[in-house]
Amino acid sequence: MDYAVDVENLSYSYSEGTIALQSVSFRLVRGGSLALLGPNGAGKSTLLLHFNGLISGTGSVRILGHEVAKENLLWIRRNVGMVFQDPDDQLIMPSLWEDVAFGPRNLGQSDEEVEKNVSWALQVVGLAGLEERSPQSLSFGQKKRAALATALSMRPKILVLDEPTSNLDPRSRRDVVALLNDLHKSGVTIILSTHDVNLVPLLADEVLLLNREVIAMGKTREIMRERELLQEQGLEMPLFADLFEELRDEGRFDGQTPFIKSEAKAALDEISFTRK
């Protein structure tokens, strides 16, 4: 089987002794989309940083069949685009254009290709026109989108995003969701962490619940209706699913759990209203 990511028995401790990951194993198929969920401090960022070799623990991490190890790092970083949780960790150049051009230039692209990829990336994140601005002068939400552009401009096969929608206004959030869906449809493998449970059904086919170790992994539509499992991890169900599962418990609904508005509207037709 052709896996985009294959993690086996991965453990990681920070130098002062915090065990952040313990015997984590999972696989994601090429072209898949995975949401990583877990409470603050669960090890989500720590896990994501392993995917392009920024940190390495014990156990094995393979990307498209290549072990994440020193001798493969160049190949790995060409293929895995990483968007950090904190955009200030990603934006280091004097201008936005240079930050977004940094990756393509490192790949040895021609000036023409660099220009094309930078314009495209800034366009799709909605920052075209701000090329000459200092990244540090951008608002936090703009920085989040700029950090995304620095990964996109390299046209990676695998895109790893640590809380890509946090701090975004509703329109930017919707745009990022649409963009990630487009990339996914074009064959890019997407792995992201998020606390926004309502976005998970829109963003990912699979969910990995992490809390230092793997708590559960499965189809989004199965995991995101497990009320107790989610609550045990300090999470909650998406709103529509929460409502209709409650109605199911009251014996008033017997259909498929809805996760998005159109499904909820269809589910409403199946409700037996008890009129007083």
Ligand X SMILES: Nc1ncnc2c1ncn2[C@@H]1O[C@H](COP(=O)(O)OP(=O)(O)OP(=O)(O)O)[C@@H](O)[C@H]1O
Q: Does 11 bind ligand X (CB under 6 A)?
A: no
* 238 contacts: CB under 8 Å, gap ≥ 6: 197, 198, 200, 201, 224, 259
Q: Does 119 bind Mg ion (CB under 5 A)?
A: no
Residue 104's CB is within 10 A of a number of other CB atoms, namely 22
Nearer to ligand X, 43 or 104 (CB): 43
213-219/206-211 β-pairing:
antiparallel
Is residue 73 within 8 A of residue 54, CB to CB? The reply is no
Q: Which stretch binds ligand X (CB under 6 A): 10-18, 113-121, 145-153, 263-271?
A: 10-18
Write each residue from 30 to 69 as x if it is in contact with Mg ion (CB under 5 A), else as -, in one continuous string. --------------xx------------------------
- We find the least distance from the C-beta atom of residue 39 to ligand X, in angstroms, to be 7
Measured from the Cβ of residue 242, the count of other Cβ atoms closer than 10 Å reads 18
How many CA atoms, within 13 angstroms, populate the side-chain half-sphere of residue 103?
26
- The backbone region for 215, taken as left when phi is positive above 0, alpha when psi lies in -120 to 50, beta otherwise, is alpha
Site for ligand X in 44-63 (CB under 6 A): 44-46
Nearer to ligand X, 122 or 230 (CB): 230
- Given Mg ion, ligand X, none, residue 82, with its beta carbon under 5 to 8 Å by kind, binds none
85 part of the interface to ligand X, by CB under 6 A: yes
Q: Is 124 in the site for ligand X (CB under 6 A)?
A: no
Please give the order of strands across the beta sheet that includes 3-13: 19-29, 3-13, 58-63, 66-67
Contact yes or no for 95/132 (Cβ under 8 A): yes
Site string for Mg ion, 67-86 (x = CB under 5 A): ------------------x-
Least distance in angstroms from the C-beta of 210 to ligand X:
7
- Count of residues that interact with Mg ion, criterion CB under 5 A: 3
Among 4, 20, 114, 237, binds ligand X (CB under 6 A): 20
Cα distances (angstroms) measured from residue 107 to each of 5, 114, 147, 217? 22, 10, 18, 35
| CB 211, min distance to ligand X, A | 8
